[in-house]
Every structure is written in structure tokens, then in C-alpha cells.
Amino acid sequence: MESIFSLEVVGAFIGVLFIDLILSGDNAVVIALAVRNLEGNVRRRAIQLGVAAAIGLRIIFAFLVSFLVQIPLLQVVGGLLLIYISWQLVKPEEEEKEVEAGSGLWQSIRIIAVADAVMSLDNVIALVAISRNSEGEPRVWLVALGIVLTIPIIMYGATILSDLMDRFPVIVYAGAALLVYVAVELMFDDRLGVVQSFAHATEGYHRIAAVAVAAIFTAIALLVNRRRQTSIT
């Protein structure tokens, strides 16, 4: 049994916390926007039920994803999806998407639940991927801890996170680079025979490849964003 204080586990925990901070902020913002027309106890109730819906969806998705990553080729698909999620984090924003505000308690909860169903999946895929042990199996307790940590982040973190990311964009780029790194390692661990043969032939270079891909991704994202800012000005 591995020690929870080993360097690998501590590193995985820090990664889980970082991913939670980056990916849970959107949930918090959606909840805040959906309940903006409500007042007093109704607003507090909508926020509580919205957070409960987000956590419930994460638990369901965590169970499904932990099972699905054992199927050949799906870790490659999951890795590609993580890279797509990373690009969504850093891509230039074209126009702000309006989040509908609910006119009542249940309408607000419905809006929150639909949005959470989309956003919770990317969070869980990242958590499962980053919490894997040396055998490639997800650490269930670490995934569960990551889900628990999302509760205060979603409830109280929207304003703080938005301000921090506006002031220090490097936080977003670092989070996206970490996701890309995890994505590449996830793909190397796929159960598909061809992938396993390739992974075996390149053993010892996986982390170097993951770091290189993450660095190239970050450089491209910075270049695209800089060009867009130059064209606007």
C-alpha cells in the first residue's frame, strides 16, 4: 500500500487541487449568474441546491469515467478531450456568453443543472486522469477528495478566482499546461495493443514527451492570444 505522504501522492494531490481551482470557477460563475434575479432565502436555497447538483453530477461522472478508462482506446479519447478542454481555457474570448437568469427557484436550479452537466464532466476527467497511481489506476480516495474540495470552491470562489485569473493570466496557462501534460501521459497508458507497444518502445521518454507537448501547446496559445490582441489594437 502506498504512503499518502509519498512524493508521487503529494504531487497528485497538488495537481488535483490546482485543477479544481481552475475548472470549478466556471461552475461558481454560472450559479451566481443563474440566481442573480432571486433574493434572500430563495437565492441561498437555489445556490445550495445548485452546488448539490454539481457535486452529485461529479460523483456519477467519476464512477463512469473510472470504469471507462479501463476500456481500450478510451484513454486516448480522454487525452484528446483534455487537450481540447485546455484550449478552451486559454483560447481568445470572442464574445461573452450570456447565462440566463432564472425567474424562480426551480427554473434557476434547472439552468444550473444543465450547465453543470457539461462542465462537471471535464472536471472529473481531469481529476481521474491526474489521480492515477503508477499502475495507471485512479486513486478513488483522491478523486473523492477532489470532488469534496469543489464544494467550497464553487460556493465561495467565483469572485476570488475571477479576480486572480484577471490579474495573473499565468495561472490559467499553467493550469492548461498541466492538463496537456496529464493528457499525454493518459494516452501513453491506454489499453489498446498498438498504443501499449508504442509506449513500451518509448519507455523512459513519456514524461519528456508530455513536458514537450505542454510547452509547445503553451507557446502556441501565447502566440495566438498575442496576435489577437495586436490585431484588436
| Whole-number pLDDT of residue 99 | 52
**Cα–chain-centroid distance for residue 53?**
17
Is 78 part of any domain?
yes
Q: How far apart are CA 80 and CA 77, in angstroms?
A: 5
Following CA atoms 159, 176, 121, 109 in sequence, which dihedral angle do they give, to the nearest 10 degrees? 20
Is 231 part of any domain?
no
**pLDDT one-digit tens code per residue, 157-213:** 655 665 666 677 787 888 788 888 888 887 887 777 777 788 888 887 888 999 999
Domain count across the chain: 1
Q: What is the DSSP letter of 132?
A: B
Nearest to 53 by CA among 125, 151, 161: 151
Q: How far apart are CA 228 and CA 226, in angstroms?
A: 5
Q: Is 138 helix (H, G, I), strand (E, B) or coil?
A: strand
Is 1 part of any domain?
no
| Whole-number pLDDT of residue 21 | 72
Is 133 part of any domain?
yes
Nearest to 12 by CA among 141, 148, 103: 141
Is 42 part of any domain?
yes
Is 92 part of any domain?
yes
Model pTM score: 0.68
**pLDDT one-digit tens code per residue, 107-156:** 777 766 776 666 666 677 777 777 777 676 777 778 788 877 777 777 66
Is 198 part of any domain?
yes
Distances in whole angstroms, Cα of residue 213 to Cα of each of 81, 180, 182: 15, 7, 10
Contact 22, 180 (CB under 8 A): no
Is 232 part of any domain?
no
Q: How far apart are CA 44 and CA 66, in angstroms?
A: 33
Distances in whole angstroms, Cα of residue 175 to Cα of each of 22, 113, 171, 194, 218: 6, 25, 6, 30, 10
Is it the case that residue 215 has pLDDT exceeding 90? yes
Domain enclosing residue 38, as ranges: 7-225
